[in-house]
A and B are shown apart, each in its own frame.
Chain A
Amino acid sequence: MTPSLVQPALPADWRDLVALTKPRVMSLVVFTGLAGLLAAPVALPPVLAFTAVLCIALAAGAAGALNQWYEADLDAQMRRTASRPLPAGRMERQTALHFGVGLAVFSVVLMDLAANHLAAALLAVSILFYVLVYTVWLKRRTAQNIVIGGAAGAFPPLIGWVAATGSMDLLPALLFAIIFLWTPPHFWALSLFVRSDYAAAKVPMLPVVAGIEHTRLHILLYSLPLAAAAVAPWALGLTGALYGLSAAVLSAAFLVLAARVFANRATDPSGMAPEKRLFAFSVLYLFALFAALVADRWVA
């Protein structure tokens, strides 16, 4: 019997419910959503802005919970995820399902109440995209899983902007594009040094399906349009020089690290320092880029 099939008949600890929402992933989602909201030309009253960001956080938590509910068997096979509440047998699967669905509905209804219909609709689409398109449909079927599925994580700045303005615009579309293009190199860098985990769990990540060299090339190739998308808001006159300079410097650093990954020939995770460095920097990159966007707005 695998750990995922152990069904404990006990009420879940609240800490495990929190763990189900993937708090570390949520922090980046919340930050980019907040940045989208703060970059918008309309200022929401603080309590509505807070509620909109809360809804984005809850929706991300719901998507994370439903992802873990569906992937409990997969998580049990990977070292990185085996200690999560479901594969570790600390929670019933049904609890995770109820928690995820409840949180999803609550976040969408609250967003509709506090912001507007469009923001609520986008929030619902982002949850459904992550759960149905990425988790259920793509993840176990194709190496393009995180390329297409990456769109789910790109929604927050768009939702933040729409929550404030009630409409879409070019800048939030570019912010969407930045996260969409950032996701593949970010996850492929990770999947290179945890490749054996994905292979054992039969998840068709690019390094498993197409090999290490191919993945390194694609990391570099995706970093180029990412850099272009990052600089585009400034090049199109949508932001000031502070953002433009920050985007250029950060993107240049990203490209250098991606080039080092491409140049690396190691096949063992112990020799994959460039991949680990790129993965760590990619998180900082997104935080810094969106922080620069908000700072640029405040300066202007």
Chain B
Amino acid sequence: MTQDELVRRQRERARLMAWLLGAFVVLLFLITVAKIGLNR
């Protein structure tokens, strides 16, 4: 594996992790809102 390939793969994974973390935060927010709605 070349250095370029290594960097490309790391960037790809970092970008994916960022998206997944963002989605997780949004999901947690929506779960909280739904739970509050259920407990009303």
In A10-30, which residues have CB < 8 Å from any B CB? Answer: 10-11, 13-14
In B17-31, which residues have CB < 8 Å from any A CB? Answer: 27-28, 30-31
Shortest CB-to-CB span from B6 to chain A, Å, is 7
Q: Give the residue of A11, A47, A51, A114 whose beta carbon is less than 8 angstroms from that of B13.
A: A11
**Cβ of B28: which chain A residues have Cβ within 8 Å of it?**
113
Task: State in angstroms the CA–CA spacing of A215 and B40 once bound together.
Answer: 56
Shortest CB-to-CB span from A161 to chain B, Å, is 18
Whether A11 contacts B31 in the complex (CB less than 8 A), given A45-B37, A45-B38, comes out as no
**Cβ of B37: which chain A residues have Cβ within 8 Å of it?**
45
Shortest CB-to-CB span from A141 to chain B, Å, is 37
B31 and A14 contact, CB distance less than 8 A: no
Task: State in angstroms the CA–CA spacing of A11 and B14 once bound together.
Answer: 11
The DSSP consensus for interface residues of chain A is helix
**Cβ of B33: which chain A residues have Cβ within 8 Å of it?**
47
B27 and A51 contact, CB distance less than 8 A: yes
Shortest CB-to-CB span from A103 to chain B, Å, is 12
Give A1-45 as 1s and 0s: 1 = Cβ < 8 Å from B's Cβ atoms.
000000000110110000000000000000000000000000001
Tell me the nearest residue of chain A to B5, going by C-beta. A10
B31 and A47 contact, CB distance less than 8 A: yes
Give A50-61 as 1s and 0s: 1 = Cβ < 8 Å from B's Cβ atoms.
010000000000
Shortest CB-to-CB span from A204 to chain B, Å, is 39
Task: State in angstroms the CA–CA spacing of A47 and B23 once bound together.
Answer: 13
Shortest CB-to-CB span from A119 to chain B, Å, is 14
**Cβ of B35: which chain A residues have Cβ within 8 Å of it?**
48
Whether A48 contacts B13 in the complex (CB less than 8 A), given A10-B6, A11-B6, comes out as no
B31 and A13 contact, CB distance less than 8 A: no
Q: Give the residue of A10, A11, A47 whose beta carbon is less than 8 angstroms from that of B30.
A: A47
Q: What would be 29 A-B contacts, judged by CB atoms less than 8 Å apart?
A: A10-B1, A10-B6, A10-B9, A11-B6, A11-B9, A11-B10, A11-B13, A13-B9, A13-B12, A14-B12, A14-B13, A14-B16, A45-B34, A45-B37, A45-B38, A47-B27, A47-B30, A47-B31, A47-B33, A47-B34, A48-B31, A48-B34, A48-B35, A48-B38, A51-B27, A51-B31, A113-B28, A113-B31, A114-B31
Give the A-binding residues of B (Cβ under 8 A).
Answer: 1, 6, 9-10, 12-13, 16, 27-28, 30-31, 33-35, 37-38
- 13 additional A-B pairs beyond A14-B13, A45-B38, A47-B33, beta carbons within 8 Å, are A10-B1, A10-B6, A11-B10, A11-B13, A13-B12, A45-B34, A47-B30, A47-B34, A48-B31, A48-B34, A48-B38, A51-B27, A113-B31
